[in-house]
Chains A and B, each alone.
Chain A
Amino acid sequence: MRHAICLALGLLLPATSAAQSDAPPSAAAASAAAAVQPEAVAALERMGTYLRSLKNFTVHGDTTIDLVMDDGQKLEFPGTVDYKVRAPNGLQLDIRSDRKERQLFYDGKTLTVYGPKNKLYASTDAPPTIGALLDAASDKYGIELPLADLFLWGTDKAPTASLQSAVFVGPARIGNSPTEHYAFRQEGVDWQVWIEPGAKPLPRRLVITTTDDPAQPQYASTLTWNTNAALKDSAFTFTPPKDASRIRLVEVDAVAVGGATP
């Protein structure tokens, strides 16, 4: 009899916590502290530590992004993202959609934005590390790198203290690879990551739901990794093609930024 009661309680508890994670944001905020599972946080930290240990890698992302129309209708746009990275100071980013192509080159000294179709490039002095580059690109030039988390996890720029919820969803497969599916909640975003188990805890898929828009648009990417890539210096230094033209990269308006920030 006692056994039966214990079993029933045991079943009840996970069900309750699952219900909490599905609750609307206001309810979740109230129970936020209880919803952070240490094992989910630990998995995130393992992934971050491993990502920071990578020296030369490439990652390809098949992506979709939602845009929200004024009437709330969501449109989805597919694309790809390709990073070539040499820690701590080499980065090339290629981003393609059916409408636009952009490349970004960074060699520890210079940042260049280039449009392969429009043949326009802009170069500027850049800070000495990828981490500092991300800051400068965002703050000074208004360039948010997609999947910037790949460079932020495992650093103090992605503090686990900001997690309002962290849950292990269960085992899953991405392509043919076994992964472990986790769900997290932070201010403004609900996000999910599928992490490879074992010695290479790489993120294989990432879904980010923007929750401060009632339409909740999503950005999803499925990632393919090469963690030991042979990268040449030329990958990070932009050499303008003969028919390319140089233009300026303007700094974002500091006054407007400050004035509009609540």
Chain B
Amino acid sequence: MNTLRHPVSLGLCLCLLTGTGALLVSSDAEAGPHARGGARTSVNHAGGGARAANVNRGATANRSANVNRNTNVNRNTNVNRNTNINRDVNIHNDIDVDVDNRWHDGWYDHPVAAAAAVTTAAAVTAAAIGSIVYSVPPSCVTTVVNGMAYQQCGSTWYEPQYAGTTVQYVVVNPPN
């Protein structure tokens, strides 16, 4: 009985793994719907300094920072329908539910987050120092150097950072 069960389990495992791989590939190809923006979560904006009276501009400024991060990844194929929006997010990343994926610009994560394009970027053997991705492959190893956490993926090292409340990973030289 046992000898029978083992091959079955193994077969099942392989199926699941294959299925997972296929899902990743298809998500790369499809890209899925892209979120172009979300609802504001407050009427008034705290920040903005001199722009305080002009409530919308403050938000625009902050979101623009996201634009910059996207540019680094070179995956801004979305049309900017509003001047303040350039969020590049892909769907089909159910695998990474509990991982912190990229999401629009606030506290609210959602299924339309980047996994596919980002994963591809991380797989490139010689990632450029300073380039930014929003997730790293699961094979990466967390290494703490001088009290700070890094992700080591083969010969490539990533430094995770909070950009707003989103975790981004910057390719860095191996830390000492």
Contacts and interface: CB of A to CB of B under 8 A. Distances in A.
A134 B52 CA distance: 12
A248 B36 contact: no
A188 B55 contact: yes
Interface residues of A, number: 79
A120 B160 contact: yes
A67 B47 contact: no
B17 to A, nearest CB: 24
A143 interface: yes
A97 B97 CA distance: 11
B56 A122 contact: no
Interface residues of B, number: 68
A142 B164 contact: yes
Given A115-B100, A253-B65, A68 B160 contact: no
B12 interface: no
> DSSP class of B's interface residues: helix, strand, loop or mixed?
loop
B46 interface: yes
Contacts, number: 242
A188 B100 contact: no
A244 B154 CA distance: 23
Contacts of A100: 100, 103, 107-110
Contacts of A149: 42-44
Contacts of B137: none
A136 B44 CA distance: 15
B41 A138 contact: no
A190 to B, nearest CB: 10
A60 to B, nearest CB: 15
B139 interface: no
B105 to A, nearest CB: 8
Interface in B26-81: 33-49, 52-62, 64-68, 78-79, 81
Contact of A209 (B39, B57, B111, B147): B39
Interface in A130-189: 131, 134-139, 141-149, 151-153, 156-159, 162, 184, 186-189
A8 B113 CA distance: 57
Interface of A: 65-71, 73, 75, 77, 79, 81, 95, 97-100, 102, 104, 113, 115, 117-118, 120, 122, 131, 134-139, 141-149, 151-153, 156-159, 162, 184, 186-189, 191, 206, 208-210, 212-213, 217-219, 245-250, 252-253, 256-262
Given A117-B99, A139-B62, 8 more contacts: A65-B39, A113-B165, A139-B47, A142-B66, A149-B44, A159-B53, A186-B55, A261-B57
5 contacts: A67-B39, A81-B107, A187-B56, A218-B39, A262-B57
